[in-house]
Structure 1
Amino acid sequence: MEPTETLQPPQAEKSEILKQAKAYITQLLEEKLPKQIVYHSLAHTKAVVKEARKLGEDAGLDAADQEALLLAAWFHDAGYIETYDGHEYRSMELAEQWLSQQGYPAARIALVKDTIRGTHRNEPCETPLQQLLADADMSGMGREDFFANAELLRAEWETTLGKTYSNVEWAESQLDFLHGAKFHTDVATSRYEEQFKANIKEQRDRLKKTEKKKKKKEEEETGTFAEPKRGIETMFRTMYSNHMKLSDMADKKANMMISLNAILLSVIITYLGAKAGTKSGVLSPTIVNNPVLTIPIGLLLATALGSVVSAILCAQPDVTSFKWLKRSPQIATNRRVNLLFFGNFNKLSLDDFQHGMNQLMAQKDALYTNMVTDIYYLGDVLTRKYRLLRISYTIFMVGLILTALSFGIALLYKM
């Protein structure tokens, strides 16, 4: 019975060794744990010890095994002070060194080390103590603070391992982790199962929200047509408004030139035909008596005629048109067809027009294609209007200059 007494120290000794282990680990982690280790911190170790104590009590462990379990819980992450990957093995060495200094039984030290070994991902987790410690270590996935602790782990991996995750990637990895995780013991399953399932559900919801936010952000950055944005609509509205204003300005300027040159033509023709039927014939006596005036009057007449013709062509209604299949099944998606312009859709039957408009309203990309096509041909019409208007003004200006010069020369000739 003596070996058994050696393996199971009295209650006072167990309580004392745990107090000493708590003090030692607290000081060790506070002084030597790297600052970037924000998840596997002293707070995590204390949480694991707390959960291990409860699991051990629920599992009905005797005092000796409960002590070994709690000692393993205190030391299981101590190795982080020196190494990250494989810290469990360094934790075992630190536990052995300290417990040996305290005169702890060698067999119990071996049990503590073996219990810590079970927390390594590549080591078997088979004994009851190993499974209880592993469940206590992973109890966070069945607690309400899972998501807060997950963010600490994310920060720790980024600073320590250089692993960076987008919000979607992190949410996906956490959901995969929860789906693949399980508790080893019945007591842990009973204790954490309800919150564990709730965490899986919330993680799934968070992933959906994160993916939705990411998609929305991408659409805003790329300006996709999946959901038209106010900026796009404002752009089209502004472009249509500008085209209409420019067209109205061109028509007003053309009408002004038509009125002005029409008056000039009327005055010139009236003047040339004055006193017709007299001895001078069909021309005004002034022209007959001063034939040199024929040149400036003729220039003015030609100028007014050329200018008014250009202005009339500018103000003349223009309908762009082009050939395309009237019964094409893809009328709305044909980028050469503009169902929004009467010059195109008046060539369609009512049924074909309704069919094309239904296609247009059902496909947002087709709608924008038609609007872009409409703006393009509005610009084409404006280009023609302003070219003719420029010609009309140029003829008028050049004609007036030539008329004035020729009239001055005629006066000098007479003098």
Structure 2
Amino acid sequence: MTTWGTAVAHAGGDEDVAREAWRDLEARYGEPHRHYHDLAHATAVARDSAALTEGLPEAERAAVTLAAWAHDVVYDAVPGEDERASAGWLRHWLTRAGAGAQHVRRAEVLVLATAAHEAPEDDEAATALLDADLAILGATPAAYAEYAAAVRREYAKYDDPAWAAGRTAVLANLLARPLLYRSETARARWETAARRNLTAELTRWREHAGDHR
């Protein structure tokens, strides 16, 4: 289950409202300040999370699909606030569509999990969403470089020294994790390449700053 309309229908939502919501979603992901967190990213997360939810109940798969499409629908490069606003956007449209309250809440909770990238260990739906959201880290070196450059453009308000300091901290924290991905399937697909990409980028930033650790 990867399509927005199918997931809304599974949650009991009206198809006409789902189409209206989709038009708004497309417009938001097409905003000019987005360079990575755009519709291509949402599409990739919907695709990869669907693959990781095979075997889960259909209601859970639908919730993951809804959350995957909506998790960055509001994006102003303000971590935490963006995710809360995106969850609010999803709640608004699903409620307007007449989706069941339990489906609305579940999808909203999944979007909110992407703020800190944390969820209960036994939450397989959240695991699929969070792992898919980080799939880009395990891309080819060329695709990873495009991602890193695109994210830098989204944070253009920061000068190079400030960005370098912040980015270095993020990369170091990621590499300090015992595991980057929550599921065995995701680790098998992306863990090794992700660590290679993160290490290479961290090395470049440290060399740029004259830090040769």
Q: Do they superpose with TM above 0.5?
A: yes
Q: Distance in 2 between matches of 1:119 and 1:113?
A: 10
Tell me which residue corresponds to 1:131: 127
Do 1:21 and 1:74's aligned partners in 2 also have CA atoms closer than 8 Å? Answer: no
Partner deviation per Cα, 1:185-211 (whole Å, 9 max, x = no partner): 222212212322332454366457x54
Q: Percent identity?
A: 22
Q: 1:87 aligns with which of 66, 82, 89?
A: 82
Q: Distance in 1 between matches of 2:19 and 2:196?
A: 33
Superposed CA RMSD in Å reads 3.6
Deviation, 1:119, is 0.9
Could you say what secondary structure the match of 1:79 adopts?
A: coil
Do 2:18 and 2:97's aligned partners in 1 also have CA atoms closer than 8 Å? Answer: no
Relative to the length of structure 2, the TM-score reads 0.74
Q: Distance in 1 between matches of 2:65 and 2:125?
A: 10
- Tell me, which stretches of 5 or more residues in structure 2 are unaligned? 1-5
Work out which structure has the larger RCO, using CA pairs closer than 8 Å and 6 or more positions apart in sequence: 2
Do 1:25 and 1:78's aligned partners in 2 also have CA atoms closer than 8 Å? Answer: no
Partner deviation per Cα, 1:138-176 (whole Å, 9 max, x = no partner): 2211122222111111111123xx353489758745642
- Tell me, which stretches of 5 or more residues in structure 1 are unaligned? 1-9, 216-415
Tell me which residue corresponds to 2:196: 198
Could you say what secondary structure the match of 1:158 adopts?
A: coil
Do 1:118 and 1:124's aligned partners in 2 also have CA atoms closer than 8 Å? Answer: yes
CA distance 1:148–1:16, change in 2 (3 Å): farther
Do 1:79 and 1:91's aligned partners in 2 also have CA atoms closer than 8 Å? Answer: yes
- What pairs up with 1:2-401 in 2 under 5 angstroms? 13-14=9-10, 24-25=21-22, 27-30=24-27, 34-57=31-54, 60-80=55-75, 84-85=78-79, 86-121=81-116, 124-126=118-120, 127-144=123-140, 145-159=143-157, 162-165=158-161, 172-173=168-169, 175-181=171-177, 182-203=180-201, 206=204, 210-211=207-208
Give aligned pairs, total. 197
CA distance 1:194–1:93, change in 2 (3 Å): same
For residue 35 of structure 1, what is the amino acid of its counterpart? P
Could you say what secondary structure the match of 1:90 adopts?
A: helix
Q: Distance in 2 between matches of 1:133 and 1:54?
A: 10
Q: Distance in 1 between matches of 2:8 and 2:161?
A: 49
CA distance 1:52–1:34, change in 2 (3 Å): same
Relative to the length of structure 1, the TM-score reads 0.41
Deviation, 1:131, is 2.3
Partner deviation per Cα, 1:359-402 (whole Å, 9 max, x = no partner): xxxxxxxxxxxxxxxxxxxxxxxxxxxxxxxxxxxxxxxxxxxx
